[in-house]
């Protein structure tokens, strides 16, 4: 397991597009804003939406995301940062 609270870097590629697809239904009215640089707090999802989103990601990639709704949610920044962290977890699971 890895902590996803502090993330850096720019994301592109399949994880970002998967993430945008998963987040889409939760981000009503903000679907056009789902880009790497968009801040998660700006897309109208709450911490429990986020728990469902993480569940779908864990199921999709077969990874465990170390997330605590009490402390981690407010420290997450952009969709791109989030995609980066997921990419790292996916890479750690199956090294190239």
Partner 1 sequence: MNRVVVTGAGVVCAAGFSVPAFWDALLAARPRFAEAKAVPGTGILAAEILDDAVIADLGVKASSCDRSALFAVAAARQALAEAGFDAFARPERVAVVIGNGAGGVVSIEEQYDRIHQNAQARVHPMTVARAMVSSSASWVSMATGARGPCFVTSSACASAAHAIGAAFQLLRSGAADVAIAGGTEAPLSNGVLRAWDAMKIMSSTTCRPFARTRDGLILAEGAGLIVLETAEHATRRGRAADVELAGFGSNADAGNLFTPDPEGMAAAMRLALADAGLSPGDVAYVNAHGTGTAANDKLETEAMKAVFGPGACPPISSIKGVTGHSLGAAGALEAIATVLAIRNGVAPPTANYDEPDPDCDLDYVPNVPRTMAIRTAMSNSFAFGGLNASLVFAKAR
Of 10, 25, 31, 55, the residue at the interface with partner 1 (CB under 8 A) is 55
Q: Is 94 in the site for partner 1 (CB under 8 A)?
A: no
Q: Is 64 in the site for partner 1 (CB under 8 A)?
A: no
Exposed/middle/buried for residue 61 (C-beta within 10 Å: 0-12, 13-18, 19+): middle
**Phi, psi dihedrals of residue 15, rounded to the nearest 5°:** -65, -45
Q: What is the DSSP letter of 66?
A: E
Q: Site mask, partner 1, residues 6-45, x = CB under 8 A?
A: ----------------------------------------
């Amino acid at each position: 397991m890895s902590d996803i609270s502090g993330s850096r870097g720019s994301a592109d590629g399949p994880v970002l597009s998967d993430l945008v697809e998963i987040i889409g239904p939760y981000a009503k009215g903000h679907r056009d804003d789902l880009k790497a640089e968009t801040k998660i707090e700006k897309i109208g999802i709450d911490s429990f939406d986020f728990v469902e989103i993480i569940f779908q990601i864990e199921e999709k990639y077969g990874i465990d995301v170390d997330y605590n709704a009490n402390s981690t949610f407010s420290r997450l920044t952009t969709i791109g940062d989030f995609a980066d962290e997921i990419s790292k977890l996916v890479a750690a699971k199956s090294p190239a």
